[in-house]
Structures are given as C-alpha cells and as structure tokens.
Chain A
Amino acid sequence: MSQPGALHVRRRRLLLVGLVLVGLVLMVRGFQVQVVQAAEWEARAARQHRERVSLPAARGVIYDRNGIPLATNRERIRVAVAPSEVSDPESTGRRLREVLGLDAAGVRRALDPGRRWVLLPGRYEPSVRSELTGLAGIYLERELERFHPHGSLARELLGAVAADGRALSGLEYGLDEVLRGSDGYAVVRRDGRGDPIPGALLTVVEPRPGNDVHLTLDLGLQAIAEQALAGAIAEQNAAGGDLIYADPRSGEVLAAASRRDGRVQHWRGVTDPYEPGSTLKPFVLAALLERGLATLEDTVFAERGWMQRGRRTIRDVTSHGWLTVAEVLQLSSNVGMVKLSERLDWHAHYEVLRDFGFGTPTGVAYPSESGGRLTRPDGWSAYSQASLAMGYEISVTPLQMTMAYGALANGGRLLEPRLVREVRSQEGRLVERWGPSEVRRPVRTETAAMVAGVLADAVQDGTGRQARFGDFGVAGKTGTARAFEHGRYRHDAYTASFAGFFPARDPQMVFLVKLDRGGQYGGAVAAPLTRTTLAAAMAARATPLDRRAVALSIPDPGTDGSAGWDMDAARPGPWLPPAPGPFVFQLAAGAPEEAVVVSERVPLPNVVGSSAREAAAELHAAGYRVVLDGVGTVRSMVPRAGSAAERGTLVRLTLGGSR
C-alpha cells in the first residue's frame, strides 16, 4: 500500500494555503460589497424596487352662489399599448377599433411592433375600462379632467385647466392654491418586470383634495347676461363688450360677461381699462357736493352748447342755456360739467377719483387685474381737468366703475368686489367665508344719496330714459366715449356704456354695460341692454334679487288697482324671446297686506329638444324656476309640458339628449 510522501504533504499544504487564501479574499470582497459599499448598492436597490406612484388630488369644485357646479371633475381613461406584450394583434386591433373608435392607421400605430410603448392620444369614457381590461398588453390609466356642466357659461371667469392639472387662466389660476389640493403618493414595491408586487405597499400619503369654491356668481343671471350681451354685440356690430352685475350692499359680483371679436376670452372686465366718458361725471358732482362747492339747485350757464378752453372747444350734443347742477348731470352737459369742475382744485379733483377706487386694482381674486390709469395732478396739463370732468384722460376697468357706482348706491361705501363667497373643504367644512369689506368712504352718506337721486332722475327724464324699467326705479348714467384707436379718437365709433343701480331706492343691484366700438351713443345702446337683462333677471326666480324688497320699494304700488304690478313696460328687448303675457311676481309669505298674493296658472311651455340655455331662458321668461340635471339638450321635464303650473314653480330639466 503506497503512502503519501513528503511531496504530497507539501502539495497538500500548498493547496490548503491556496484555498484558505481564496476564502480570505472572498471574505474581504464580501466585506467590501456588503459593508463598505452597502449604502451605494442599497440606493440602487431602492431605485429598482420602489416606485413612487403619484396619487393626484381631485381639484375642488367651483359652485355658483346657489350651489350649482360650474367647474367639476370627471374621470377619463387614457389607453397605452405595449405592442410586444400583445398576444393576439388581430383581435386586439379589432377590439381597439370597436371600443375606442380608432381607424385602421391608428390601430396600426398602436400595435406597431417596433415600438415599446404607445400612448394613445385620446381620453376615453370610464366605460372603456370594463371593455378593455384583460387584454394583454393594454394598459389603462385613470385621469381626472376638468368638466364644465354648463358648457361655456362663465368660462371667461372660470378660466381653464390643462390636461395635466395645471391651472392656466381665470379663477382656476387665481384660486389655484385653494382648488389644487395636494397630490399624494404611494410607494410600491415592484418586481423585475416592473409590475407592482401585490400587497407590498410601503408608504401611502393620501392625496388631499382641493377645497370647493363657492362663487358669488348667479348661474341664471350669468346665462341671461351672456346671452343679452352676445345679442347686443351682434345687433350693434360692436367689437366687443362687457356686462357686470354686482350687489352694492356686499360687493358681490353676481354676473360678469366679456366678449371680444365674438369669442370668449378672459374676463376683460378687470384686465382691460377703457375711457369711461360721461359715466365718470357723477363722481365730480359728488366731490362738489361733498366739499360744499355746489348744491343741486345751483345754476350754471351751459354757453349754448359750446365753449372755448385754451385752443380746445368743449361741445354739448344739444345746446343748453342755464342749467341746475342736477340738470348738468342728467343732460350730461360737457360745458356745464367742465365749468363746475373748475371749482375744484386739482388735488381735490384727483383725490375724489382716487377715493372712488380709480387707478388702483380692486384686489378681486381674478389674475392679472389692471388698475387703470389715473395721472397725479403734478402730471396734468392745462386741459387735464376739463378732460377728466368729461371722463377722458383716465382709464378705468369695468369692475372699478361698477364698484364706484356701488358706492353711490349704498350710501358712500366703496366695497371690495367679491367673486368668492366661501371656501369649503370637500367634506363640506367651512374653510373661509368672506363678508362685505369696505375699502373706504369716499363721500358722506347724504352726498351719495343726493347723487343717486340725480341719477334716478336721469333715467326717468334724462339721457338714460331707455333704461326705464316700468315702475321699478333704475338709477344710472350713460357714457359715450369716442373710441380711441391707433393714437387718435375716432368720429364714427364709440365706447358706449351705461352704469347704474336698481331699484333706485334701496338698490340691490349695481351694473355696468359697455359696448366697444359700436356705432351708437350710450343711451341708445347700453341702457336698453340693461333693461332687457333686468327684466329677464326679475323673471328668473333663482336670481338673487329680493323681490319682496323690490316690490316694496316701488313708490306707488298698483296704481291701476290691480293685484299685481304690470310689468308690460319691461317686456324683454330684442335679444331675448318675448315673454308670454305680463310678468307677475309672487310675494313671499308674510308680505304686508297691501301686497296681494297673486297666483296664475298657465300651461308650461314645451322645451324638450331645445338646448339647456334656450330652455332655461324660455322658462325664466315665463316666470318659472329651473333646475338643470346633466349636459346637452333637454330630454324630459318635470312637471310635464302643458301641465298647469303656478309661476315660480321649480321645473326640473333632465338633459342628455343629443340634437
């Protein structure tokens, strides 16, 4: 039997030493990888094991003042295809064609085997989810899309949101902080193929949904305002226009429409200042009265229609002789107004305009607000005071003018305009609420009341006659400024406007109507538009007008002894469908005895098949309240068409039909 020799012993030792050395090397290498470099590898492991999945927060809903949603969210499905994972391109392609309506080229692109991931451009109804799940290689992703149940209504105010959830414009942008909420995320473990490992959820930070915003807008009034404005612009062949309704007691904006070149853009009522013309005159009068530099009974000679100041000629449209101060305003005499304004020193003149809010942004929640332009007296020329007296050399935004008239209407308090009433969390908890906020008191209550009285008479007897609204007193002032284009004033085009409030006694609504580059004077254009919308607004029960208070503010109710107030004089203008018969307003229970409750039953008009807006306008005009449910055209109505329904009855319209 052979035995191992010394050579074998040496070889054995050599091999053993070699093995132990290799073991040591491996030990060192293990230490290097697992202890020294551990953090680096761990980071790489985390990168490939964990995936942060964004959980987008639902954007807050925007409501009108009555809780009707104006901008909300709806679920959309995006479809992506991984062509390499599609097992049966034939049937998958057919399915895509059927469910998504892709054309042959689209299907080819979606299933192109040369591409790893194809995201289809469309955003689809949630129903495609059930039809496409289970197909190999098809991936669905949920997305929330901004949705406007009332179409383009109030779009210039609401603004837009991009598909990725970024606010682009309007209130969406201005209130983005409130609406946006904060996205949550989940960290999931995933496997080598990138699929999440079931049940391996590491962290979940729930998304915090955005807060809901309740606007001061009234949807019904907004619809009426937009329709009336669009009609007026078309009729007058104007370049555009603005219409604002606000509540002078709270500063709340009730409706605001803006149109330019036939399109809805942004709310130019705060971004585009204009030269106001005669609508600025009441503030000069207020300054004179406030400082005791004039009384309403003072007289001034109107120079028979023209007057020379330096090298400039001041003209009136019609020549007048001696006028009282009130008449100067009511007849809008430029000559009288310039002569009166010369009683003010330049600083007083400047200050009163500044105190009524001109030249300063109002601070409304809408982005990119303009402050207009009001030059300080040290920048004035010799003609500036005369120009300002007539409403030139100054630019104001429609909203500024509305709020300034609001200060005349409410007894001298300049209020901050409000677009947002309150902010509520998604659960309905009140986050913030805003009440009236007074900026300052530019004039005393008595002064404001005096000017308001003159403005009421102006509508009754003066330039604003066409704004007369039956027995409801409307106070206001027309303005006609030459359109300023390319550095010079045009002789054939005007910025026609009418600003005022309603009812003249204890006003509930202040408004401004303005048409750009129309062919007519303010009195002829803007005032009838006001009358039209007010009539429609009165008929719509959902409008914020307190009808009882309106009724009681009428000086002499029921002159003809009838039970209601004949509103025939307020028949809607040419831009709204004519109302069948007289408007009758029902007073709230507990009304004073002399206000007799009237009820009249008439057959409900049939609006099935017409668009939501047409239907609402028709029913509003007939004196009914309307609730909309859905989108599109009217499919059915409750109560049924033709049934005898009391005026003021709530009519529920179910939408969703297609033309």
Chain B
Amino acid sequence: MARWGPWKWRGGEPDRPRAVEDLSRLGSGWESGAVFALTALLVSVGLVTMYSSSAVMAQGQGLVPHHYLLRQMSGALLGMVALLMAAQMDYRRLRPLAWPLVGVVVVMLFIMLLPAASSIAPEAKGARRWLLLGPVTVQPSEVAKLAVIVWTAALVVKKQDRLRSLSRGLAPLLVVWGLVAGLILLQPDLSTALLLVGLAGLVAFAGGARPAHFVVLVLAALPFLWGQVAKAGYRMERLLTFLDPRADLADMGYQINQSLIALGSGGLVGQGLGRGQQKFGFLPEPHNDFILAMIGEEWGFLGVAALLVLFTTFALVGYRIARGAADLFGFLLAVGVTNLVVVQAFLHIGVNLALVPATGVTLPFISYGRSSLVVCLAAAGILMSVGRVSDQRGRALARVRGAGP
C-alpha cells in the first residue's frame, strides 16, 4: 500500500506498468465539452427559473418584474467570459497564484469586518456579506471558496508525503482554513464557513490526508460548533426545527414546511412553468435559498430528478477529468471544483427536501447571486482546462506510442 504512495513518482520518471493504463484514463476530449454543455444547460434552466421565481417578489419590492432576471443575466455573461478565459488558460498557471489569491480574499474579508468600512460593506439582514468595489458588488465568501480550493490543491501537491503527518501536513492547512473561515464566521455566516472548510477538507482528503485526522478534527471542533450554534438563537432554532419540523410551524419550521409544500404540491409533473403559488410570499427567498422548491413546484419530481441527474453527471464527468488529469495538481483541482459545484448543489437540494438543517446554500448556476454564478462558471472553466490539458497530454502520449516500438 505505502509502496504506491505518491512519492514513487517523484523525479518525473514515468510509471512503467501504469503507462498503458494511463493512456486509457486520459481524456479523449469529450469531457471538457460535456462540462460546458452541462454548465450551459444549468445556467439556462437557472435563467428561465429566475424570471418565474423573482418576478412576484420584485414587484412586491416595487421593482420591475424582470429586475432580478436582468441582473442574473449580466452575471451569466460575465461568468461565461470567466469560464472561457479559465478554460483557455493552462490550469498549472494557477499554482503560483494560490497564495496571492488567498491573500486577496483574506484582505477583502478583513476589510468587511472593519467598522469603518460600513460604507462599502453594508449590513443586510444582520450580516455583512457584500463588498462594494466601485461599480461591482462582490460576495467575498463566494470567491473565498474557490480560492481556498485552489490554494489547498497547490499546498497538498507541495507537501505530498508530509500530508500524512498532523503537525507538518494538516496543521498548516488548518491555519489558513481557520483564518479564512474565521473571518467568514465573523460576518457572521456559519454555514459558508463550514462549507468552505468542508470543501477544502475534501481536497486534502483526496490528496491523501489521513481520515483519522479528520475524525479528530471534527471531534475537536464539536464543542466550538455547539457553542456557535447555541450562541446565535436562530441557528439553534434551525437545528431544533430540523430535528422536529412540526415543533414551530410559525417560524423556522415554516420555511422547511413551505419548501415541502412547494415540492409536494408539484407532484410528479409540476404545476407548470410560472404557475407556482408558493412564490407568492409563502416560500422565503424563492429565487435563492429555496429555488429548488420552486422548481419542484413548477416542474414536479421530473424537474427535480432531471436536476439531480445533471449534477450527478457533472460529478461523474468532473471526477473523470480528475482521473485523467495530467498531474496531481490538476487531479486535486478537478476534484475540488467539481465538489464546489456538486456538494453545494446536493446541500441545497438536501435543505429544500428537509434532509439537512436549513442553511443559506445556493444552488450553483441556478440560484440568484452574481458572485456565486461567476465563481461557479470560473470553476467549470478550470475543470475544462484540466480536461483540455490532460487531453493534449494524452494525444501527445498516443503520438509517442504510435511512433514507438
């Protein structure tokens, strides 16, 4: 087992018996296209849903019905540019950018916490989550997720064998994760902080970190988490209502119940596009945290199942790209960004289906939020880049083999 550790390849010597296998694992070129197709399809579904879900709410706020749709479309355009740029770029150029990326994110998150910065980081709904940078508004915690994934991938590649040691491997990672997550936690945004650590942890896990370390880590974090949950009343309520949704229908259980009512009343085939009733003030955030419930109401189980199939396919394709990655960094990057999309999507769907305590997780590509949309599209672009590079390498290898003995 240990024999097959990653250090085996150090020195760049080709892996003899695996070289043949490698060839079969290398992308044959269609994966990047599949990622693009899936992404484009999901974004399209998102835009169609956006109008249906936000028009009523926009009118209720005195805005034009297509207010949110237009904003989301501008985000989609920007995101598509980001996707194409990332896909064209060689992902390996991200490795040296890992530290600067994390640095920028930490600075942004830090600025937001400064009391003096309230003019560019206004408080909304009890939290400061947006940073106004001139004409654009950025949600730094969304950017932080991608940045930390890239950074973790780069660091895992650098540490390699040391990763299996707690003090020299995982601990330095924990310091940076803890810093970024802690800044996000102070916004306060517990669920994003947890999600960030989780996504980064999955990269480290894929990179070979010991499962036992994670168990210890989680056990150590439990008292802290409990303290956090108990400190903020609403978090406690969320947890309690998740444990017994019928306990308090009027308040937090209300959201979960409305989500289930929306999904359940959609039935198998749904009420039809635009025909949902739950967006009329019943579903909280029908365009965002509970957009799946709205899709379920209007498109029925068929719609929800289709989304699940799309995201699962995204996972399969993303992990296939990881398997064929040209190097470890590409492998970890592919796993990380695939998780970024799929884990968030499954979390969102789990919340909407009342399987996970209520959290403000968005549905990638579909939920309203331009930062999230741009970041997710950039992540898809990075995934395509990994696929493209491995593809080029595969073709090069094939040429070598074809020309060889």
A residues sitting closer than 8 Å to B (CB atoms) are 1-9, 11-12, 15-16, 19-20, 22-23, 25-27, 29-31, 33-35, 37-38, 40-42, 44-46, 48-49, 189-193, 197
Q: Which of B205, B264, B305, B311 has a CB less than 8 Å from the CB of A45?
A: B264
Q: How far is the CB of A257 from chain B (nearest CB, A)?
A: 59
Task: Kindly list chain B residues whose C-beta atoms are within 8 Å of the C-beta of A9.
Answer: 323
Q: Is the CB of A12 within 8 A of B353?
A: no
* Residue pair A7, B6 in contact (C-beta under 8 Å): yes
**A23 and B263 within 8 A (CB):** no
User: Is B405 in contact with chain A by the CB < 8 A criterion?
Assistant: no
Least CB distance, B90 to chain A, in whole angstroms = 13
Question: Given A20-B312, A20-B315, A26–B323 Cβ distance below 8 Å?
Answer: no
Given A1-B12, A20-B315, A192-B282, 8 other A-B contacts at CB below 8 A?
A12-B323, A15-B205, A23-B311, A26-B308, A26-B349, A30-B263, A35-B301, A41-B263
C-beta contact mask, B229-273 vs A, less than 8 Å → 1, else 0?
Answer: 000000000000000000000000000010011111111100000
Interface string of B293-312 (1 = CB under 8 A from A): 00010001100110010011
Which partner residue on chain B sits nearest A26 by CB separation?
Answer: B349
Q: Are A192 and B281 in contact (CB under 8 A)?
A: yes
| Listed residue (B9, B277, B339, B353) with the most chain A CB atoms within 10 angstroms of its CB | B277
Which of these binds chain A: B66-74, B174-182, B220-228, B327-335?
Answer: B327-335
Q: Does B208 contact A (CB under 8 A)?
A: yes
Are A42 and B267 within 8 A (Cβ)? yes
Which among A12, A38, A44, A189 is the interface contact of B280 at CB below 8 angstroms?
A189
Which residue of A2, A23, A49 is within 8 Å of B160 (Cβ)? A2
Question: B3's closest neighbor in chain A, by CB?
Answer: A6
- Which residues on the B side are within 8 Å of A33 (C-beta)? 260, 263-264, 353-354
16 contacts between A and B (CB under 8 A): A2-B329, A3-B9, A4-B6, A4-B322, A4-B327, A12-B319, A15-B205, A16-B316, A16-B319, A20-B312, A22-B346, A23-B311, A23-B315, A29-B353, A33-B260, A34-B296
- CB < 8 Å neighbour of A38 from B268, B327, B343: B268
Contacting pair A2 B323 (CB below 8 A): no
Chain B residue with Cβ nearest A17: B319
Q: Please name all residues of chain A whose beta carbon is closer than 8 Å to the beta carbon of B157 when the two chains form the complex.
A: 2
B5 interface hit (Cβ, 8 Å): yes
B18 to chain A, nearest CB (A): 9
Answer whether A23 and B312 are a contact pair too, CB < 8 Å, given A4-B331, A12-B335. Answer: yes
- Known interface pairs A34-B263, A34-B300; A5-B281 also in contact (CB < 8 Å): no
Chain A nearest CB from B276 CB (Å) reads 10
B312 contacts A34, C-beta separation under 8 Å: no
- Known contacts A19-B346, A30-B308; decide if A35 and B267 are in contact (CB<8 Å): yes
Cβ–Cβ contact A30 & B208, under 8 A? no
Mostly, the B contact residues are: helix
| Distance between Cα atoms of A30 and B346 in the complex (Å) | 12
A42 and B264 contact, CB distance less than 8 A: yes
A34 and B5 within 8 A (CB): no
**B8 contacts A by Cβ under 8 Å:** yes
Contacts of B29 in A (CB 8 A): none
In angstroms, Cα B10 to Cα A15, docked, is 25
Q: Which residues of B contact A6 (CB under 8 A)?
A: 4
Report A-chain residues with C-beta under 8 Å of the C-beta of B346.
19, 22-23, 26
Chain B residues near A16 (CB-CB < 8 A): 315-316, 319
Taking CB atoms, residues of chain B closer than 8 Å to A12 are 206, 319, 322-323, 331, 335
| Contact residues on B (Cβ < 8 Å of other chain), bracket | 35 or more
Most B CB within 10 A of own CB, among A6, A23, A27, A193: A23
Q: Are A7 and B355 closer than 8 Å at their CB atoms?
A: no
Is B304 a contact of A30 with CB atoms below 8 Å? yes
Interface residue? B108 (CB, 8 A)? no
Chain A, residue nearest B331 (CB): A4
Please give the distance in Å from A27's CB to the nearest CB on chain B.
5
Q: How far is the CA of A4 from the CA of B353 in the complex (A)?
A: 36
B362 at the interface (CB under 8 A from A): no
B335 close to A15 (CB less than 8 A): yes
Closest beta carbon of chain B to A31's beta carbon, Å: 6
Check B205 against A191 for contact (C-beta < 8 Å): no
| A37 contact set on B, CB distance < 8 A | 264
* Interface status of B274 (Cβ within 8 A of chain A): no
Whether A30 and B305, one on each chain, are in contact in the complex, defined by CB atoms closer than 8 angstroms, is yes
Contacts A31-B301, A34-B301 given; does A2 touch B327 at CB 8 Å: yes
B86 to chain A, nearest CB (A): 21
Known: A31-B301, A42-B265. A4 touches B328 (CB 8 A): yes
Please name the residue on chain A nearest to B329 by beta carbon. A2
How far does the alpha carbon of A131 sit from the alpha carbon of B399 in the complex, in Å? 89
Interface contact A35-B160, CB-CB below 8 Å: no
Residue B383 CB within 8 A of the other chain: no
Q: A618 CA to B389 CA in the complex, in Å?
A: 113
Near A by CB (< 8 A), chain B positions 32-73 give none
- Kindly supply a per-residue 1/0 record for chain B positions 128-139, scoring 1 wherever the CB is within 8 Å of any chain A CB and 0 otherwise: 000000000000
* B342 contacts the other chain (CB 8 A): yes
- The reply to whether A2 and B349 contact each other, CB–CB distance below 8 Å, is no
**B265, B319, B322, B353 pick with most chain A CB within 10 angstroms:** B265
Min Cβ gap A628→B in Å is 52
Partner of A2, one of B9, B312, B322: B9
Name the residue of chain A whose CB is nearest to the CB of B208. A7
- CB A198 to nearest CB in B, in angstroms, measures 11
Residue of B whose beta carbon sits closest to that of A7: B208
Is B360 part of the contact surface with A, judged by Cβ < 8 Å? no
